[in-house]
């Protein structure tokens, strides 16, 4: 009997084993989602809102329990897991309060007696989600999706199946129609079959560019809408007039958040030559202070990576970069202790052709790349196949805004702080970091029928 395994990445001990759903169960859940949608689509938005607010209340009430589950299954620091659950409650309340405004019909003056744009739900939406933010990635799709009147099916990463089951329980306890949101305990090899099902109308995926390409190709074959939020290799520019102490602290925090397993985590650090040495000294000191430890230990600064195979892949990228001429000035060795731990690591002399320059490093490894000046820093930042987030550090806010708004090729550009998602702002990338947007009004409009109504 095929199973999905949940393993504690801190201790390597098995947490649970979940039986893979047979095709009959998957079909039943798709049918149930469609039936629930037929009812839910007719419920006025104002009457959907109390259900979403109850989901937020449940998340708040069960924050400790759900946070412990996250930390147990994928190794996130408990404090970070608690913050993740709180953010999920925030996004639920945001869409409960704003969906009616976001989806209000828009009247347009034409030759008609009346013409307007209406926004209507599509139906059953499949969400293929990763393990690194096992609740947040799901809720930032589900909150707008359900408030728009859609139904949701979740194919979660296998190693966080416990989180998938818990999320389904939150929506059930909140009183949403039975079957409106459910998870599918299936391996990735069976996702294509769900995509092609005639009752599944669209797909959203957060994950690697490889997974995104595969899902988009299959959805395209069946002419179904997709939204992809893929990998990132965010560049942080440190200019000669930056507050170096602040920049080093923010850069280290962003690189080590979630043990470096964040698509919008800072990954490439590009100080200009005038401050390269001073920034590197401060940055190394910040990274070196971080304490590896059990995610349930409040004194730890970062826990393990989510799986041992992920650690091996990261270490291989580091080793190849070193073989090609990069220098390791901190970390870079696998600890002998149990678990999937990897130390804070800094690579310098990083250049084109190295994994540390070309690829996403999904772990606490920082690539530091020297730039001659502002223009060269911008060139290096944009010299990437990725385009998710970016940041620039300068005490001249007009200069920072100009660079962020007009020169950096990314879906988000921040000044003097780290890149993050916010329910009030659209989130997504360009280039191989994906397409479409989540969050804000843009996110809720991704999975609706933008319908023209014309009355002569």
Q: Which residues are catalytic?
A: 229, 263
Q: At what angle do helices 161-173 and 136-147 cross, to 10 degrees?
A: 30
Cβ neighbours of 131 (radius 10 Å): 24
Task: Write down the residue that tokens 């099916």 correspond to.
Answer: 153
Own/partner long-range contacts of 18-26 (Cβ < 8 Å, ≥24 apart): 18/161, 18/162, 18/185, 19/185, 20/185, 20/186, 20/187, 21/184, 21/185, 21/186, 23/193, 26/184, 26/186, 26/190, 26/193, 26/194
Q: Residue 279 and residue 366: Cα distance in Å, rounded?
A: 13
Task: Write down the residue that tokens 């991704």 correspond to.
Answer: 446
Report the candidate in 299, 292, 384 with the shortest Cα–Cα distance to residue 338. 292
Contact 184, 19 (CB under 8 A): no
Q: Residue 401 and residue 247: Cα distance in Å, rounded?
A: 16
Cβ neighbours of 190 (radius 10 Å): 15
Contact 47, 146 (CB under 8 A): no
Question: Judging by DSSP bridges, how do beta strands 389-393 and 234-238 pair with one another?
Answer: parallel
Q: Residue 6 and residue 205: Cα distance in Å, rounded?
A: 21
The torsion angle over the Cα atoms of residues 427, 88, 232 and 390, rounded to 10 degrees, is 60
Question: Residues of 5-37 as b/e, b for ≥16 C-beta within 10 angstroms?
Answer: ebbbbbbeeebeebebbeeeebeebbebbbbbb
Q: Where are the alpha helices (DSSP H) in 41-77?
A: 45-61, 63-74
Q: Residue 210 and residue 230: Cα distance in Å, rounded?
A: 9
């Amino acid at each position: 009997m095929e199973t999905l395994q949940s393993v504690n990445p801190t201790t390597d001990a098995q947490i649970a084993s979940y039986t893979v759903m047979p095709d009959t169960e998957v079909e039943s859940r798709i049918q149930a989602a469609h039936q629930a949608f037929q009812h839910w689509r007719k419920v006025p938005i104002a009457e959907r809102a109390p259900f979403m607010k109850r989901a937020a209340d449940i998340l708040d009430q069960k924050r400790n329990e759900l946070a412990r589950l996250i930390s147990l299954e994928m190794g996130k620091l408990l404090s970070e897991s608690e913050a993740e659950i709180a953010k999920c409650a925030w996004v639920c309340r945001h869409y409960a309060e704003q969906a009616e405004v976001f989806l209000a019909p828009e009247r347009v003056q034409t030759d008609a007696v009346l013409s307007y744009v209406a926004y209507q739900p599509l139906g059953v939406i499949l969400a293929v989600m990763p393990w690194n933010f096992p609740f947040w990635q799901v809720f930032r799709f589900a909150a707008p999706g359900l408030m728009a009147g859609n139904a949701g099916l979740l194919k979660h990463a296998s190693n966080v199946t416990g989180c998938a089951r818990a999320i389904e329980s939150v929506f059930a306890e909140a009183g949403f129609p039975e079957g409106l949101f459910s998870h599918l305990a299936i391996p990735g090899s069976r996702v294509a079959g769900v995509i092609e099902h005639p009752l599944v109308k669209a797909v959203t995926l957060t994950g690697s560019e490889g997974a995104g390409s595969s899902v988009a190709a299959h959805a395209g074959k069946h002419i179904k809408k997709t939204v992809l939020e893929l990998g990132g290799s965010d560049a942080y520019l440190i200019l000669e007039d930056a507050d170096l102490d602040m920049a080093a602290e923010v850069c280290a925090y962003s690189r080590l958040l979630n043990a470096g397993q964040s698509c919008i985590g800072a990954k490439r650090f590009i100080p200009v030559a005038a401050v390269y040495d001073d920034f590197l000294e401060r940055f190394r000191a910040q990274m070196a202070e971080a304490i590896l430890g059990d995610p349930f230990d409040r004194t730890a600064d970062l826990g393990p990576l989510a799986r041992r195979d992920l650690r091996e892949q990261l270490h291989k990228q580091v080793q190849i970069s070193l073989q090609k001429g990069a220098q390791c000035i901190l970390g870079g060795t696998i600890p002998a202790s149990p678990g999937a731990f990897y130390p804070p690591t800094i690579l310098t002399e990083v250049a084109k052709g190295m994994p540390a320059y070309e690829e996403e490093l999904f772990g606490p490894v920082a690539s530091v790349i020297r730039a001659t000046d502002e223009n060269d820093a911008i060139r290096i930042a944009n010299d990437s196949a990725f385009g998710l987030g970016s940041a620039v550090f300068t005490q001249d806010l007009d200069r920072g805004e100009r660079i962020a708004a007009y020169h950096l090729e990314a879906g988000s550009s921040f000044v003097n702080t780290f890149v993050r998602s916010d329910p009030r702002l659209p989130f997504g990338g360009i280039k191989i970091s994906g397409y479409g947007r989540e969050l804000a009004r843009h996110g809720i409009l991704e999975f609706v029928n933008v319908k023209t109504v014309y009355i002569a």
